[in-house]
């Protein structure tokens, strides 16, 4: 006869063994996860600022200084730039790769490049400064955590960029709304004969920019760092500027400042969220985007929202490399099976199955009105184009709910029917198609947006509520 206690005991031992095995394999998993994670942290940096401030030149110089562009290529670009009567543009040609950009000397598409410092792998996103291409700038900024705001110190250029209608202001406000939490303000063209590394000019720019940055919501002490550079010559970029060139600067160079920027850590174990910015066919359907929350690994089952397409992850690529797993903040390409490329639109979100991203056609938001066209008034019925992460959709304001006192940040008592420039207002917004968004308080990156009309940014906002019954 078998002692039943013995059996129970044996079973208990078996169970314990199984639990241990599971724990060990979980530990192995964790260890594998650690191993798979690249040792260096990764940051996306967007270059923003007024047209011709020197964003592409500075980006190109970074690649040159980090040894990714050889002298021969530079000589080739020098010749090409000269042939196009754009002598000084040769450094910008490293980032501006298409013919239109080179002929006109203006970035159109967001340029993308990679470089590394001691501590960090960077993806640089070189946004266009021209006002016609603000939507491209928005897509660049929405992928970044850190911004390099390039300002030209050349006589007259800082002024034009900073004026109303200049892109210095618009870009700062957009960057803040789109989740760029840290800014390096580089005062560029310090070598220019009208500047000649003048401390006075540098101080003037810093003192004019500071109150504006504060007004835009940046904590200047914590989140902003100013520094002087020459992008064209490469001064104060990889190494600190020589005292013989600039006696008064005792702060960091650009590489040091970038290396020292800290951004809030996102949860690699959170629900998976990756807004799709682009897609193509390549042995399956490949989607591109930035992981905003959670992690993705080969073999995962996921869902593409809002069309609820169930997919399997065949492969994950980070930069050029195939990786086993990628976490928040990474720009990735994910190869999927189970969905056709035609069935995905940019703005769709690759999402975990257990906690998929909500999709709605109506939401509540707090808006700040920046500049309405011809000083129009903002009322129910106002139509605009909504930009939220990779989504671009026509929208309509269906109701103004409350006006907020900009000073006290408290709701004002009286009923609100219309507001003007500068107002803060809570309203209901509708779109025609389902969009995947989150409340700002849950996922800031997926809950902040801009409203644009006729190519101009008229308002920036945060999602405060989702109308889930509108799905
Ligand atoms: P968009 O892409 O059109 O917004 O312009 P950008 O900000 O990328 O400017 P880009 O790098 O194309 O440079 C514009 C002009 O400024 C070119 O003629 C550059 O040579 C010049 N430039 C850029 N950086 C410097 C600098 O540090 N010193 C001087 N002297 N000129 C510079
Ligand atoms: Mg450019």
218-227, pLDDT tens digit by residue?
999 999 999 9
Q: Kindly tell me if the per-residue pLDDT of 8 is higher than 80.
A: no
As given in the structure block, the two tokens for residue 44 are 């996306």
Question: What is the rounded CA–CA span in Å between residue 356 and residue 271?
Answer: 8
> What are residue 465's DSSP bridge partners?
364
As given in the structure block, the two tokens for residue 462 are 């945060």
Per-residue pLDDT, 39 = 64
Opening angle at CA 113, ends 456 and 437, nearest 5: 45
Per-residue pLDDT, 396 = 97
> Residue 152 Cα, ligand 1 centroid: separation in angstroms?
8
Please, which pLDDT band fits residue 407 given cuts at 50, 70 and 90? Answer: confident
3-class state of residue 282 by DSSP: coil
pLDDT in tens, 255-264: 999 999 988 7
> What are residue 111's DSSP bridge partners?
126
Q: For ligand 2, a single-atom ion, which residues have Cβ within 5 Å? A: 55-56, 107
Which residues make Cβ contacts (< 8 Å) with residue 255, sequence separation at least 6? 62, 65, 117, 237, 238
Opening angle at CA 215, ends 209 and 221, nearest 5: 65
Cα–Cα distance list, 429 to 8, 68, 206, 409, 467 (Å): 62, 46, 38, 21, 10
Question: What is the rounded CA–CA span in Å between residue 251 and residue 464?
Answer: 40
Question: What is the rounded CA–CA span in Å between residue 439 and residue 466?
Answer: 7
Per-residue pLDDT, 138 = 84
Ligand 1 and 168: CB distance under 6 A:
no
Please, which pLDDT band fits residue 340 given cuts at 50, 70 and 90? Answer: very high
Mean pLDDT of the chain: 89
Closest among 133, 190, 216, 140 to 167, alpha carbons compared: 133
Ligand 1 and 56: CB distance under 6 A:
yes
pLDDT in tens, 223-252: 999 999 999 999 999 999 999 999 999 999
- Among protein residues, the one whose CA lies closest to atom 26 of ligand 1: 189
pLDDT in tens, 149-185: 999 999 999 999 998 778 999 899 889 887 898 999 9
Opening angle at CA 75, ends 70 and 79, nearest 5: 150
Cβ pair 235, 62 in contact under 8 A: no
Mean pLDDT of 197-204: 98
3-class state of residue 77 by DSSP: helix
Q: Could you tell me if residue 98 is left (phi over 0), alpha (psi between -120 and 50 degrees) or otherwise beta?
A: beta
Q: Kindly tell me if the per-residue pLDDT of 405 is higher than 90.
A: no
Ligand 1 and 55: CB distance under 6 A:
yes
> Residue 330 Cα, ligand 1 centroid: separation in angstroms?
29
> Residue 388 Cα, ligand 1 centroid: separation in angstroms?
30
Per-residue pLDDT, 35 = 45
Sign of CA dihedral 438, 33, 122, 248: positive
Ligand 1 and 171: CB distance under 6 A:
no
- Among protein residues, the one whose CA lies closest to atom 30 of ligand 1: 192
Which residues make Cβ contacts (< 8 Å) with residue 176, sequence separation at least 6? 216, 217, 218, 460
Q: Kindly tell me if the per-residue pLDDT of 4 is higher than 70.
A: no
Dihedral, CA atoms, 366, 367, 368, 374, nearest 10 degrees?
A: -160
Ligand 1 and 235: CB distance under 6 A:
no
As given in the structure block, the two tokens for residue 261 are 């920027």
Q: Kindly tell me if the per-residue pLDDT of 103 is higher than 70.
A: yes
* 135: phi then psi, degrees, rounded to nearest 5: -55, -35
Cβ pair 93, 81 in contact under 8 A: yes
- The number of the ligand 1 atom at minimal distance from the alpha carbon of 49 is 7
Element (H, E) at 400: strand 391-404
pLDDT in tens, 127-152: 999 988 888 898 788 788 899 999 99
Question: What is the rounded CA–CA span in Å between residue 365 and residue 177?
Answer: 13
As given in the structure block, the two tokens for residue 241 are 């500027």
Cβ pair 448, 363 in contact under 8 A: no
> Residue 428 Cα, ligand 2 centroid: separation in angstroms?
37
Q: Kindly tell me if the per-residue pLDDT of 18 is higher than 80.
A: no
Helix/strand number for the chain, H first, E second: 10, 23
pLDDT in tens, 59-98: 999 999 999 999 999 999 999 999 999 999 999 999 999 9
Closest among 255, 247, 267 to 196, alpha carbons compared: 247
């Amino acid at each position: 006869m078998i002692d039943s206690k013995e059996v129970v005991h044996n079973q208990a031992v078996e169970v314990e063994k199984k639990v241990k095995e599971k724990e060990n394999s979980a530990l192995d998993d964790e260890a594998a996860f650690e191993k798979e994670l690249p040792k260096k942290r990764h940051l996306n940096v967007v270059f923003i600022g007024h047209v011709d401030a020197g964003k592409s030149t500075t980006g190109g110089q970074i690649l040159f200084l980090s040894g990714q562009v050889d002298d021969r290529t530079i000589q080739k670009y020098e010749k090409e730039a000269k042939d196009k009567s754009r002598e000084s543009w040769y450094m910008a040609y490293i980032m501006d790769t298409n013919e239109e950009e080179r002929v006109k000397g203006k970035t159109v598409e967001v340029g993308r490049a990679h470089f590394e410092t001691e501590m960090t792998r960077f993806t640089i996103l070189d946004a266009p400064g021209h006002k016609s291409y603000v939507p491209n700038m928005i897509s660049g900024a929405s992928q970044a955590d850190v911004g390099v705001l390039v300002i030209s110190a050349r006589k007259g250029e800082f002024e034009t960029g900073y004026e109303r209608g200049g892109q210095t202001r618009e870009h700062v406000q957009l960057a803040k709304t789109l989740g760029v939490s840290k800014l390096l303000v580089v005062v560029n063209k310090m070598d220019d004969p009208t500047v000649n590394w003048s401390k006075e000019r540098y101080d003037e720019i810093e003192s004019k920019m500071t109150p504006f940055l504060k007004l835009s919501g940046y904590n200047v002490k914590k989140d902003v760092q100013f520094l002087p550079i020459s992008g064209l010559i490469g001064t104060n970029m990889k190494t600190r500027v020589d005292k013989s060139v600039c006696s008064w600067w005792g702060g960091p160079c650009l590489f040091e400042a970038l290396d020292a920027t800290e951004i809030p850590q996102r949860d690699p174990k959170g629900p998976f969220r990756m807004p799709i910015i682009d897609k193509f066919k390549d042995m399956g359907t490949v989607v591109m985007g930035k992981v905003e929350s959670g992690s993705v690994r080969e073999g995962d089952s996921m869902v593409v929202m809002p069309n609820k397409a169930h997919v399997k992850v065949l492969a994950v690529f980070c930069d050029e490399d195939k990786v086993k797993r990628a976490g928040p903040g990474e720009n990735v390409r994910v190869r999927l099976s189970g969905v056709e490329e035609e069935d995905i639109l940019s703005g769709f979100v690759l999402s975990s199955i257990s906690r998929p991203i909500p999709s709605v056609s109506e939401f509540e938001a707090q808006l700040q009105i920046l500049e309405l066209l011809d000083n129009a008034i903002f009322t129910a019925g106002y139509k605009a184009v909504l930009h939220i992460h990779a989504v671009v959709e026509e929208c309509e304001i269906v109701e103004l709910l409350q006006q907020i006192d900009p000073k006290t940040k408290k709701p004002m008592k009286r009923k609100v029917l219309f507001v003007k420039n500068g107002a803060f207002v809570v309203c209901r917004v509708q779109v025609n198609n389902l969009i995947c968004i989150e409340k700002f308080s849950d996922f800031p990156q997926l809950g902040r947006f801009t409203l644009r009309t006729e190519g101009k940014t008229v308002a920036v906002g945060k999602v405060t509520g989702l109308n889930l019954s509108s799905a």
